[in-house]
Amino acid sequence: MLHSSARRTATILGVASAHSASGLATLPAKADTFINILTGGTSGVYYPLGVALSKIYGEKIPGARPQVQSTKASVENLNLLQKGKGEIALALGDSVKLAWEGDAEAGFKEKLDKLRGIAAVYPNYIQIVASKDSGVATFADLKGKGLSVGAPKSGTELNARAIFGAMGLSYKDLGKTEYLPFAESVELIKNRQLDATLQSAGLGVASIRDLATSLPIQVVAVPAEVAEKLGPPYVATEIPAGTYEGQAAAVPTLAVRNILVTHADVPEEVVYQMTKSMFENLDQMVAAHKAAKAINLETAIKGVPVPLHPGAERFYKEKGLLK
């Protein structure tokens, strides 16, 4: 009888030789490559995109065993990656920058030095939406009103804090501050227990779509000069007319690029395959959420605030984006 470790070795060698025979020996000779995909709340954009990645990886990467983990998004994802508790995550660009710097106030107790970039993907739009009944039409109207700024120390909440600071305001100017994920924020507005929600997400996020079909909404502008005050990774943009039901005109706001991040201990071949298979199957990403229409090779390495992973670098060199 084979000893258990010998049996394991035989199994691994068997799988490796089977892959070699079929021309699939692209990954290290292992029976399984576990890929834990860190996302966000199920009503946001990260989660459906994570599900799409899981499907792509399961189909295209030999031996891959992907799974999707719903989290509190950016800050939690980055801390989990540093601890090796995930292989790939979505996170807001400013959160990634603060994590790399070890900004304790943002939720990073130390410099997260293991973080490595895969790609800049799509922009998150700062979307401030109030019920029409609340009387909130401008940012200044939020004074004395009830606003949900996102889960505590989430990427959304870090965006909210930065914008309030740039506008010369703080949460103390609000009548009530709630720290809630997207879906819960919307439920409170529907129940007339809250006036507005600030959500940093891709356009057409499910939570705001749900709110707009439930009651009349007002999308609140964030002036372009706020982007100038804050600087990169913030840029001035607008939420196009008709993004949500009842939104007749385009609304000025800010955007922040989202980054696909991994960590230094994930093997080069695995990250290469993750990067390559995503870019070769972007149609599946777009089918999962239209925010993915903004993912393209031309902008993939622009504004990534941490070093690229060697596996991602290899892919971009093949495509002629890096020398």
The pLDDT of residue 9 is: 38
Q: In CATH terms, are 4-123+258-318 and 124-257 the same topology?
A: yes
The pLDDT of residue 207 is: 94
Neighbouring C-beta atoms of residue 250, cutoff 10 Å? 15
The pLDDT of residue 31 is: 62
Residue 245 phi, psi dihedral angles, 5° rounding: -55, 130
Superfamily designation of domain 124-257:
Periplasmic binding protein-like II (3.40.190.10)
pLDDT digits (tens, 9 = 90+) for 118-170: 999 999 999 999 999 999 999 999 999 999 999 887 889 999 999 999 999 99
CA distance 13 to 30: 8
The pLDDT of residue 154 is: 86
**pLDDT averages per 10-residue partition of the chain, 323 residues:** 41 38 46 93 92 98 97 95 98 95 94 98 96 97 97 89 96 97 96 97 93 97 95 91 96 96 98 98 96 94 94 98 93
Token digits of residue 178: 């709630």
The pLDDT of residue 58 is: 98
* Chosen CATH of 4-123+258-318 out of 1.20.58.110, 3.40.190.10, 3.30.70.260, 3.50.50.60: 3.40.190.10
Which residue type occupies 164? F
Instruction: Give the closest residue to 164 by CA, choosing from 128, 193, 110.
Output: 128
Q: Where are the domains of the chain?
A: 4-123+258-318, 124-257
Predicted TM-score of the model (pTM) = 0.79
